[in-house]
A and B are shown apart, each in its own frame.
Chain A
Amino acid sequence: MHAAQAVNDFSIHVATANGSGSQTANNVLMRSIFQMGVPVSGKNLFPSNISGLPTWFTIRASRKGYIGRKKEIDLLVAMNPETARDDVLELDAGAMVVYDEPLALSNVRDDLEFHAVPFDKLVAGVCPEAKLRKLVRNMIYDGVVAHLLDIDPEEMRKALWKQFGEKKPKAAELNWQAVLAGKQYAEANLPKSGRLKVERMDANRGRLIIDGNTAAALGCVFAGVTVLTWYPITPSSSLAEAMIDFLGRLRRDPETGKATYAVVQAEDELAAAGMVLGASWAGARAMTCTSGPGISLMSEFLGLGYFAEIPGVFIDVQRVGPSTGLPTRTAQGDTLINALVSHGDTKHPILFPSNPEECFSMATDAFNLAERFQTPVFINMDLDLGMNNWMSDPFVYPDKPVDRGKVLSAEDLERLGGFSRYLDVDGDGVPYRTLPGTPHEKAGYFTRGTGHNEHAKYSEKAADWVANMDRLARKFESIRRALPAPEVSFNPKARTGVVCVGTSRYAMEEACDQLREERGLELSWLRLKAYPFTESLKEFIKAHDRVYVIDQNRDAQLLALMKLDLDPALTAKLRSVRYYGGLPLDARTVSDEIAAQEEGIQ
C-alpha cells in the first residue's frame, strides 16, 4: 500500500506510443528533479520499432541514491490508449494516475488516485498550429506533474532551454507554454494529495547526466583511439555516432583541418573486426562497437587476433539474443561468449563498467591492455548502461599515459640486430612486435594464426606449437595481474556474500540494504571489474559460507565462468540469482530471490 507520504523516493512511469515525441517531456521531467539536487535515474523501456508500439519511460527519484530500476510504480502517466487499462491494472493500490481524459480510466479501479487531464483541449490553447501539437502535447504532463509533486517549474524552464539552447528559442518557448498550461490546469482542477513530493536536496552538485554510450565514446577519444570501424546495431549505434561527433570536434589538425582518426562504417561486423585487426597490426589504436549478433560474426577474427597476437578493443553493448524481437531489451548474455569466443583454445580479457565514469575510464584501460598484451580486449556494457541516462561525476582526465606496448623501432632493431616475433624475452609471455612500414630490413615478419614458431616462421612441429600455447597461457596470467581490482563492501558480520558485474550493482547494493533492513540479513558484496578474475575474488569467496552470483541471463554465465576459472572447492560455495526478462534489473527481484534461497538453508 502507498499510504505514507514519500519525499524524494518514488518512481514515475510514463506510458506513450513510440514516436509520439515524449522524449523531450521525459528528459525535462527527469532533469528538473536532478536540478533540484535529488538523485534520479531515467530508463527508456522501448520496443524494436520506429513508430506506434507502446513505450515506457521510468524516472526514479531516490534521496538515498538508489538508481536501479524500481519495480513498484508510484505515479503513472497514461498517455497510450493501447496500454492504458493494463498499465492501470498493474499498479499497486494507492498509486497516482495522470491520464488523458477521454481514456476514462477512473472507473477501472477505485483504489488509486486519479487525475484526468484534457490534453487535446489544453494543447490547442497553446499551439495554434495543428501539426506542431503532437510535438508539444506531452509537455503538458510535465506541468501537471510539477504541480502534483511540487517540482519547481523554473527548473523545467531551465531544462528546456538547456535542451533547445539558443539554437531553437521558439521551440523552447512553445514547449514552455505547454508546461505552463498543464501546471495552470492542474492548479485549478487537480487537488494535490501531497503523497509524492520533491524537496530540494544538494546531492548532485557538479554532476552530469549522460548515457553510457556517450561516456564510452568520449573515453575512447581521450584514450587516443585512431581507428573506429563499425556496423550499425542496436544498442551500440549511438556509441559510434557519439564518437563520430566527438572526433569531428576534437581530433582535427588545427592548421590543416585534416583528421587524426579514421572512421569506417563497414559492410558488416566481419569486415569491421577485420579492419580493426588490420589497423592494429599496422599500429593504430583500433576499435569497434557492436552487440551480441555482431560478436557472433566477429568470432573468427577474434580468434585470429588471439593467436596472431593483435590488439583491438571490442565494445559489446549487450542486448537480448539474435534476430528480431528483443534488440531493445537489456541483458548480460554475452559473458561466456566474450570470454571464450572463437574456436581452439581462445580466451579474452573483459572489462565490466557499471556507470558512465567507468565507461570513460575503462576505455583507456582497454586500449592500454590491448596494446600492452597484444590481444583483443572486450568491454562488456549493456543496453541499460549504454542507452539510458545516468547521473555521473564529471569525467576525470586520464592519469594513465597512452601505453603502446612492446613495439620495436628501426633504432631498436639496429641495436638488437633483429628480433623474434613470438619469443618470450621478458618472461611475462608477452613478445615484441614491429609495425609494417618500419624502415629496417630486419623489421618484417610473417603473421599467421597458428602454425608458427617463436621466430614467426612457418612450423607444424608439435613442440613449437605447444610452447606457443603455453606462452599464451602465461600471457593470460600476466593480464590477470594487470586488471583493475574489484570494488568490495566487506561486512565483518556477514556469512553470506553477493557478487555481480556491471549494472547489476544497483540492484545488488539496494537489495543488500533491503535484506538487512527488512530481514536482518547481513551481506558483503563484491563487484567485479574484469575477467580473468583476480585474487581478491578468491579471498572474498573464502571469507564467506556462500556467495550469490547475480546474472542477467538464464544460464548463470558469470557463475559458469567462475567455475572454469576457480578451484572447485571455492565454486561449491556459489549460488545463482538470475534475471532475464529484458528490463533493467531491480533490487526487489534480487532480494526476494536471496531471501527465498536463504530460507531454504535455515
Chain B
Amino acid sequence: MSTPTMPAKKSNRLGLEILPYRGSKTTLCAGCGHNAVTERLVEACWELGVEPWRVAKISGIGCSSKTPAYFLGQSHGFNSVHGRAPAVATGALLGNHQLRCVMISGDGDTASIGLGQYMHALRRNPPMLYLIENNGVYGLTKGQFSATADLGAKSKSGAVNAFTPIDCCLAAIEYGATFVARSFSGDKKQLSALLRAALSHDGLAVVDVISPCVAFNDHAGSTKSYSYMKDHEEPLHEIDFIPFFDDIEVEIEEGATREVTLHDGSRVLLHKLEHDYDPSSRLNAVTRLHQASDGDEVLTGLLYLDQSRPSFTKTLNLVDQPLASLPESVTRPSAEALERINEEYR
C-alpha cells in the first residue's frame, strides 16, 4: 500500500493558509445560519488576502455578536455593549483609520436596541463592513421577536407579531450607507461574492443576511426559516466578484451582465435575471425592495452602491498616520504656543 500524498495546501496572495483566518470553535447551535456566515467571512478574508493583524472585529451583544470569536483568531476583537457596536467601531476607526473594521451585529442588536446608533452610523459612512445576521428573534434570551420580525410572523410559542418590521436595507439606502446588500446564509455563492465586494468598498457596507435561528425561528409560520427563504428568496442577479489583484479575463455575455468597478479596482459582475438593475439608483432600489415585500418575496443581491460620497474618516481630513501612533512631538503643541494663549487671556 502506497502512502497517500497530501494535496499541497493552498495559500492566498500573502502566502497565508486559511488557518489564520479561522477562530475558535463555534458555540452556537448546530445548523445556525450564523455559522455559515462565519464560514463565508473566513473564506472571503482569506481569498482577498486581508492582513489578519489589520482587522478589528467589533460586535454588540447576541448570538451574532459572539461570532467574532469564531473567525480571524489573530485579529483584535471586541465584544462590546448591546446595540452600541457602531460607536465602538467608529471610535476604533478614529484611533486608527488604517484598520479594516468588520462589525457584526444582529437584528435585535441593530434594529431594536441599536437603531439609533445604526441610523447615525449610516449618516457618517464609516469605512467598514456592517454585517447584520438577521433571524428575526432574540436567540440568547430564547425566542422573543425582534424589530425585523415580519408582520403576522408566528413565534415558536405561537404568538403572532402585530408590528411592522424595520427593514435595515431600506434604512441603509435612505440614510446614507454607500454599499447595501441583502443575502441568505444558505446562498453560499451570492453571500461569498457580496462579502468580498463589501470588504473591498471604501465606506459603510451594510450586508443584511437572513440567517435562520434553528432553535427558535425555523418553524412553519416563520418568515425567517430555511424553508421560507428557499421558497421566497428572489435574487436580483447572479453575482461574481473579481478582486483587484486577479488579472483574469472574464467572458461577459453581451446584454446579460453589468460590470461595476470598485475604488480599489475590484470588479463586481451582475448577471442574468435583472442584470440591467442599476445599483447606483437609490429610487430604483427602494422601489424594488417595496415591490418585493409586497409580493412576499425576499429580494437579495447588491441593492445599492454609491461610490461618490467620501467615507467618514476622509471627511475628518485626518493625517495619514493613525492618530493612535502620533508621537508627543505632534500631539503636544509647543511652549511658545502656550505662552501666546496665556497672553490672549491676560
List chain A positions with a Cβ less than 8 A from chain B: 206-210, 214, 218, 221-227, 229, 246, 250-251, 253, 256-262, 264, 266-268, 270-286, 300-301, 304, 308, 392, 394-395, 397-398, 401-402, 434-449, 458
Binds A, one of B2-10, B41-49, B88-96: B88-96
8 contacts between A and B (CB under 8 A): A208-B345, A214-B345, A222-B332, A260-B319, A268-B116, A279-B91, A394-B339, A439-B51
Q: Which of B70-78, B131-139, B144-152, B265-273 contacts A (4 or more CB under 8 A)?
A: B70-78
A441 touches B74 (CB 8 A): yes
**Cβ contact within 8 Å between B322 and A437:** yes
Contacts of A308 in B (CB 8 A): 78
Complex: how many Å from CA A259 to CA B20? 35
- Confirm or deny: B69 has a beta carbon within 8 angstroms of a beta carbon on chain A: yes
How many Å lie between the Cα of A207 and that of B86 in the bound state? 45
- A258 in contact with B317 given A278-B95, A283-B324, A285-B331 (CB within 8 Å): yes
Residue among A209, A229, A272, A436 with most chain B CB within 10 A: A436
CB-CB under 8 A from A260, the residues of chain B are 319, 323, 326, 330-331
How close is B144's CB to chain A, nearest CB, in angstroms? 20
Interface membership of chain B positions 111-127, coded 1 if the CB is closer than 8 angstroms to chain A and 0 otherwise: 00000110110000000
Q: Which of A214, A264, A300, A395 has the most CB of B within 10 A?
A: A264
Which residues of B lie under 8 Å from residue A259 when comparing CB positions? 316-319
When A270-B84, A401-B328 are in contact, do A250 and B69 touch as well, CB less than 8 Å?
no
Contact pick for A397, options B78, B99, B119, B335, CB 8 Å? B335
A442 to B52, CA, bound (A): 11
Within 8 Å CB of B320, what residues of A?
258
**Nearest CB in chain A: distance from B175 CB, A:** 12
Question: Interface centre among A207, A392, A435, by most B CB within 10 Å?
Answer: A435
- Across the interface, which residues of A come within 8 angstroms of B55, CB to CB? 436
A271 CB to closest chain B CB (Å) equals 4
Query: By the criterion CB–CB under 8 Å, are A274 and B84 in contact?
Result: yes
Once the chains bind, are A250 and B120 in contact (CB under 8 Å)? no
**What 1/0 mask marks residues of chain B from 13 to 48 whose CB sits below 8 Å from any chain A CB?**
000000010001000000000000000000000000
Nearest chain A CB to B26 CB, angstrom units:
12
B335: which A residues are within 8 A, CB to CB?
397
Nearest A-chain residue to B89, judged by Cβ? A278
Interchain nearest-CB distance for B282 vs A (Å): 23
Interface residue B245 (Cβ < 8 Å from any Cβ of A): no
Question: Could you tell me if A271 and B117 are in contact, using CB atoms closer than 8 angstroms?
Answer: yes
B96 and A435 contacting across the interface, CB-CB below 8 Å: yes
Query: B120–A447 contact, CB under 8 A?
Result: no
Q: Hey, which chain A residues are within 8 Å of B346, CB to CB? A: 206-208, 394
Question: What residue in chain B is nearest A268 (Cβ atoms)?
Answer: B116
Whether a CB of chain A sits under 8 angstroms from the CB of B333 is yes
Selected contact of B91 from candidates A221, A222, A229, A300, CB within 8 Å: A229
Are B81 and A300 touching (Cβ within 8 A)?
yes
The answer to whether B90 touches A209 (Cβ under 8 A) is no
Which residues of chain A come closer than 8 Å to B318, judged between CB atoms?
258-259, 262
* A279 and B84 alpha carbons, distance in the complex (Å): 14
Set A271, A397, A435, A445: member contacting B84, Cβ < 8 A: A271
Apart from A282-B93, A444-B53: 6 A-B pairs, beta carbons within 8 A: A229-B91, A274-B87, A437-B76, A437-B324, A441-B20, A446-B76
Q: Is the CB of B96 within 8 A of A222?
A: no
B308 within 8 A of A: no
CA distance A280 to B74 in the complex (A): 20
- A253-B319, A281-B91 known; A223 vs B332 contact (CB < 8 Å): yes
Contact assessment for B52 and A446 in the assembled complex, using a CB-CB cutoff below 8 Å: no
Interchain CB contact under 8 A, A284 and B324 = yes
Q: Which residues of A contact B86 (CB under 8 A)?
A: 271, 274
**A210-B341 Cα distance, complex, nearest whole Å:** 11
Cβ A250 vs Cβ B337 within 8 A: yes
Asked whether, in the complex, the Cβ of A281 is within 8 Å of the Cβ of B88, the reply is yes
B81 near A304: Cβ-Cβ < 8 Å: yes
Q: Is B76 in contact with A443, judged by CB distance below 8 angstroms? A: yes
- Known A208-B345, A441-B20; judge A277-B323 contact (CB<8 A): no
Asked if A438 and B337 sit within 8 Å, CB to CB, the answer is no
Q: Which residues of B have CB within 8 Å of A304?
A: 80-81
A206-B346, A395-B341 known; A282-B332 Cβ under 8 A: no
In the complex, chain B residues 267-318 whose Cβ is within 8 Å of any chain A Cβ: 316-318
Q: Is the pair A436, B92 in contact by a Cβ cutoff of 8 Å?
A: yes
CB atoms of B91 and A225 under 8 A apart? no
Would you call A258 and B319 a contact (CB within 8 A)? yes
Chain B residue with Cβ nearest A301? B81
B68 within 8 A of A: yes
Judged by a CB distance under 8 angstroms, whether B58 is at the interface is: yes
Task: Tell me if B79 counts as interface (CB < 8 A to partner A).
Answer: yes
CA distance A284 to B333 in the complex (A): 17
Would B94 and A262 count as touching, CB distance under 8 A?
Answer: yes
- Known interface pairs A218-B341, A274-B81, A278-B88; A226-B331 also in contact (CB < 8 Å): yes
Query: Would you call B342 an interface residue if the criterion is a C-beta within 8 Å of the partner chain's C-beta atoms?
Result: yes
Residues of A within 8 A of B89 (CB): 278
Contacts of A445 in B (CB 8 A): 76-77
Task: Please name all residues of chain A whose beta carbon is closer than 8 Å to the beta carbon of B88 when the two chains form the complex.
Answer: 274-275, 277-278, 281
CB closest chain-A residue, reference B346: A208
A436 with B96: CB separation less than 8 A: yes
| B53 & A443 in contact (Cβ 8 Å cutoff) | yes
Known contacts A279-B91, A283-B96; A444/B116 CB under 8 A: no
Query: Are A446 and B77 interface neighbours, CB within 8 A?
Result: yes
B250 within 8 A of A: no
The answer to whether B345 touches A438 (Cβ under 8 A) is no
Contact A436 B87 (CB under 8 A): no
Contact B332 A435 (CB under 8 A): no
Inter-chain contacts of A262 with B (CB < 8 A): 94, 316, 318, 323
Q: How far is the CA of A262 from the CA of B326 in the complex (A)?
A: 13
In whole Å, how far is B127's beta carbon from the nearest beta carbon of chain A?
14
Chain B residues near A300: list those with CB within 8 A.
81, 84
The minimal Cβ–Cβ distance linking B258 to chain A, given in whole angstroms, is 36
Docked-complex contact B338 and A222, CB < 8 angstroms: yes
* A152 smallest CB distance to B (angstroms): 18
When chains A and B are docked, how far (Å) is the Cα of A443 from the Cα of B54?
Answer: 10
Q: Which residues of B contact A458 (CB under 8 A)?
A: 24, 69
Residue B98 at the chain A interface, CB threshold 8 Å: yes
Residues of chain A within 8 A (CB-CB) of B96 are: 282-284, 435-437
* B141 interface residue per 8 A CB criterion: no
Partner of B95, one of A207, A251, A284, A398: A284
B209 CB within 8 Å of chain A: no
CB neighbours (8 Å) of A394 from chain B are: 339, 342, 346
Q: Which of B68, B74, B325, B333 contacts A222 (CB 8 A)?
A: B333
Indicate if B56 sits at the interface (CB-CB under 8 A).
yes
Determine the chain B residues whose CB is within 8 A of the CB of A275 once the complex forms.
Answer: 87-88, 90-91, 94
A132 to B54, CA, bound (A): 60
Which of A223, A267, A271, A436 is in CB contact (< 8 Å) with B76? A436
In the complex, chain A residues whose CB is within 8 Å of the CB of B80:
274, 277-278, 304, 447
The interface residues of chain A lying within 8 Å CB-to-CB of B91 are 227, 229, 274-282, 284, 286
Whether B98 and A437, one on each chain, are in contact in the complex, defined by CB atoms closer than 8 angstroms, is yes
B66 to A, closest residue via Cβ: A458
Instruction: Give the contacting residue for A282; candidates B75, B81, B99, B330; CB below 8 A.
Output: B99
- From known contacts A251-B331, A260-B319, infer whether A447 and B76 are also in contact, taking CB-CB under 8 Å: yes
Bound-complex Cα distance A278 to B93 (A): 8
Q: Which residues of A contact B72 (CB under 8 A)?
A: 444
Partner of B323, one of A227, A436, A448: A227
Is there an interface contact between A209 and B345, defined as CB atoms closer than 8 Å? yes
- By Cβ-Cβ distance, the 4 closest A-B pairs, closest first, are A278-B91, A274-B87, A283-B324, A282-B95
Contact indicator B332/A447 (Cβ below 8 Å): no
Q: How far is the CB of B15 from chain A (nearest CB, A)?
A: 13
* Contact in complex: B53, A437 (CB < 8 Å): yes
* Smallest beta-carbon distance B211→chain A, Å: 22
Bound CA span A258–B323, Å: 12
Closest to B27 in A: A458
Once bound together, how far apart are the Cα atoms of A147 and B164, in whole Å? 72
Look across to chain A and name the residue whose beta carbon is closest to the beta carbon of B335: A397
